[in-house]
Chain A
Amino acid sequence: MERIPILRMGDLLLVTIQVDMHDRLAMTLQDDLTERIVRDNAKGVLIDISALDLVDSFIGRMISNTAAMARVLDAQTVVVGMQPAVAITLVELGLTLHGVKTALNVEKGMALLGKNLNR
Chain B
Amino acid sequence: MSTAAELAVGFETDLLELHARKRAERTSLPLRTDEDVVHLRKHVRERAVGIGLSLVDQTKLITAASELARNTIKYGGGGAVHLDKLADGLRQGVGLVFVDTGPGIPDLELALRDGYTTGGGLGLGLGGSKRLVDEFEIDTRPGEGTAIAVVKWKR
- A, B assembled together: yes
A binding-site residues for B, Cβ under 8 Å: 20-24, 53-58, 60-61, 83-86, 88-89, 92-95
Q: Would you call A89 and B67 a contact (CB within 8 A)? A: no
Determine the residue in chain A with the shortest Cβ distance to B44.
A54
**Docked-complex contact B37 and A23, CB < 8 angstroms:** yes
Interface string of B33-48 (1 = CB under 8 A from A): 0110110011001000
Q: How large is the interface on B (under 10, 10 to 19, 20 to 34, 35 or more residues)?
A: 20 to 34
Complex interface: chain B residues within 8 A of A57 (CB): 67, 121-122, 124-125, 128
Interface of B is mostly: helix
In the complex the two chains form, is A94's CB within 8 Å of B124's CB? yes
Given the known A-B contacts A94-B114, A94-B127, A95-B122, are A54 and B63 also in contact in the complex, defined by CB atoms under 8 Å? yes
Residues of B within 8 A of A (CB): 34-35, 37-38, 41-42, 45, 55-56, 58-60, 62-63, 66-67, 70, 114, 121-122, 124-125, 127-129, 131-132
| Given A56-B66, A57-B125, A88-B56: A93 in contact with B131 (beta carbons within 8 A) | yes
A sample of 17 inter-chain contacts (CB < 8 A) reads: A20-B41, A20-B42, A21-B38, A22-B38, A23-B37, A24-B34, A53-B59, A53-B62, A57-B125, A57-B128, A58-B121, A85-B59, A89-B63, A92-B132, A93-B124, A93-B129, A93-B132
Known A20-B41, A86-B59: A94·B34 in contact at CB below 8 Å: no
- Indicate which residue in A23, A58, A89 contacts B60 across the interface (CB closer than 8 Å): A89
- Determine whether the beta carbon of B132 is less than 8 Å from that of A54: no
Chain A residues lying within 8 Å of B34, measured Cβ to Cβ, are 22-24
